[in-house]
């Protein structure tokens, strides 16, 4: 088996890894979606429940679709990075390098050079969010239409925000709640808690509202078509045009925009909450203490000699 054939076989496998999860999601949707007449606007289907001593673990359509999309993303990454060379010889490598450069530039502009390590995380957030929203185009239930999914992402981001705020010391973190004046402490605490809540509901609300509006409009246009005289009432041409145009905004533009906004808020909250001056002072004190300990050990060793 020559190298070219091996390369093509691996390529085919990666393409299968991209497409198969989406096909599986569509098949699961068809097999598990109960028949219904008219409009049906409901949450994610519950597949089964795993008993647990604290609380039963519910496995829903959102979780399954999220994992299927993650596998698709894995396939995309493997395909784009397959056959990388120092001098790019494939178009996919140019595409991969361009994506990395764009994300690096975005992180550098909004977070600064110190946070360049966040580039993979920000890229992961954007592509996972975008594909989760766009999955509805192939008939899957969009995970971003589930508040539990977006809330999980927001909690993860909130942990990162708090982690970097604590870089300046726990005392400095508590002190920040009393700034600029002590009387605003309750408002600052509420603002801190509101950060993950607003991030979760903003993403979830925009995606869900678009899906609801599209469903209602499609049903309305379908009913309007049936009232037309003669053969015109038998051809659902109104449902084939206007909903498709609206889908360009609600499903594609809005979904990608919400992914970008979520990533932007993550960058701004993390970098904005980082206490740079307090962190530098803390590091200087640590270095000074380390030097004093080293000098003390050196003197103790010299005294023994």
What are the domain boundaries of the chain? 5-274
Q: What is the pLDDT of residue 286?
A: 86
Residue 34 has pLDDT above 60, yes or no: yes
In the numeric block, the tokens 């300046």 are attached to: 168
Q: Which two tokens stand for residue 171?
A: 């005392």
Mean of pLDDT values over 129-139: 88
Give 119's pLDDT tier (boundaries 50, 70, 90): very high
What percent of the chain has a predicted confidence (pLDDT) above 70? 87
How big is the chain by its Cα radius of gyration, in Å?
A: 26
pTM of the model: 0.83
Q: What is the pLDDT of residue 205?
A: 86
Q: What is the pLDDT of residue 1?
A: 43
Contact 261, 157 (CB under 8 A): no
Mean of pLDDT values over 201-215: 81
């Amino acid at each position: 088996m020559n190298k070219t054939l091996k390369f093509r076989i691996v390529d085919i496998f990666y393409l299968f890894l991209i497409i198969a999860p989406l096909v599986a999601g569509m098949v699961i949707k068809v097999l598990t979606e109960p028949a219904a007449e008219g409009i049906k606007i409901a949450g994610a289907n519950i597949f089964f429940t795993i008993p647990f001593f604290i609380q039963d673990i519910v496995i829903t359509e959102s979780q399954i679709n999220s994992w299927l999309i993650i596998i698709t993303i894995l396939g995309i990454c493997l395909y784009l990075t397959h056959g990388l060379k120092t001098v790019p010889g494939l178009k996919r490598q140019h595409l991969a390098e361009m994506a990395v450069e764009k994300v690096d530039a975005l992180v550098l502009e909004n977070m600064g050079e110190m946070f360049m390590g966040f580039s993979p995380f920000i890229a992961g957030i954007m592509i996972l969010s975008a594909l989760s929203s766009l999955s509805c185009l192939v008939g899957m239930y969009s995970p971003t239409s589930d508040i539990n999914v977006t809330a999980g992402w927001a909690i993860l981001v909130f942990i990162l925000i708090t982690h970097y705020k604590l870089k300046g010391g726990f005392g400095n973190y508590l002190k920040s709640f009393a700034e600029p004046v002590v009387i605003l402490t309750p408002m600052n605490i509420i603002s801190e808690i509101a950060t993950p809540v607003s991030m979760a509901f903003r993403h979830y609300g925009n995606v869900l509202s678009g899906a609801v509006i599209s469903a209602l409009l499609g049903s309305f246009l379908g009913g309007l078509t049936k009232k037309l005289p003669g053969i015109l009432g038998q051809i659902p041409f109104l449902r084939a045009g206007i909903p498709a145009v609206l889908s360009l905004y609600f499903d594609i533009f809005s979904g990608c925009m919400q992914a970008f906004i979520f990533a932007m808020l993550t960058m701004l909250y993390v970098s904005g909450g980082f206490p740079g001056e307090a962190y530098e002072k803390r590091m200087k004190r640590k270095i000074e203490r380390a030097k004093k300990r080293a000098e003390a050990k050196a003197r103790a060793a010299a005294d023994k000699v």
